[in-house]
Amino acid sequence: MKMSSSSNSTCAACKFLHPKGTQECVFASYFPPDQPAKFASVHKVFGASNVAKIFNELSTSRREDTVHTLAYEADVRLGDLVYGCVGIISSLLQEIELAQTKAEIALLGAAQLVDPFIYNEQK
């Protein structure tokens, strides 16, 4: 299988899955031959056949973004087998909660400075 571009290099997916194949590869434009680790991660976590099924449900213009997010998600999962991206989401939610609490505390402090009498009355 050759890259769909003018290059004669087999893509990273073909090198990995079927190095002697000859038909056009659906992954050729998205997994360049010089990035074999990118395909290996995606294949290890999602499986090439599942990615091909996702591709089939998308227009070609949306496949590049999809490959980027799948590659990111796969790398995160391989780095954290238990939580993957859900671990990042959980951390960010905690960060938001912390930022909101800090802002509230700062604003309460500022309100007390502006008018301690009113502030204490309202309390």
Q: What are phi and psi of 54, to 5 degrees?
A: -60, -45
Instruction: Return the sign of the alpha-carbon dihedral for residues 62, 66, 68, 69.
Output: positive
* Residue 9 contacts a copy of itself per CB under 8 A: no
User: Should residue 103 be labelled a site residue for a copy of itself when binding is judged by CB under 8 A?
Assistant: yes
Token representation of residue 6: 């003018």
Give the other-Cβ count within 10 Å of 75's Cβ: 17
Which residue in 16, 32, 40, 83 binds a copy of itself (CB under 8 A)?
83
Binding site for a copy of itself (CB under 8 A): 44-47, 49-50, 53-54, 57-58, 62, 65-66, 68-70, 72-73, 77, 81-89, 92-93, 95-96, 99-100, 102-103, 106-107, 110-111, 113-114
